[in-house]
Amino acid sequence: MNAQYEITSGRRVVATRSGPCAREVALDYLRSMGYKRDEIIYYGVDGVSWRGAVYRARLSESGTQAA
């Protein structure tokens, strides 16, 4: 089952995506922007970092959805 996540940079929501877990959703967002995997650093269980900017994913208020 996938869940709907909001991806944030600081206090700003930059995207909404669905996926299996928060970190994978945040990683997918950066990869879709064209950033290389070796430039991205895992940052906790819910985020990733690229060149100092931290992107975190959190469950959106709309909740979960079927796969």
pTM above 0.75, yes or no: yes
Domain map of the chain by residue range?
A: 2-61
Length of the chain: 67
Question: Hey, what are 20's tokens?
Answer: 């299996």
Burial 6-32 (b: 16+ CB within 10 A, else e): bbbbeeeeebebbbeebbebbbbbbee
CB of 30 within 8 A of CB of 40? yes
Per-residue tens of pLDDT for the chain, all 67 residues: 789 999 999 999 999 999 999 999 999 999 999 999 899 999 899 999 999 999 999 999 875 554 4
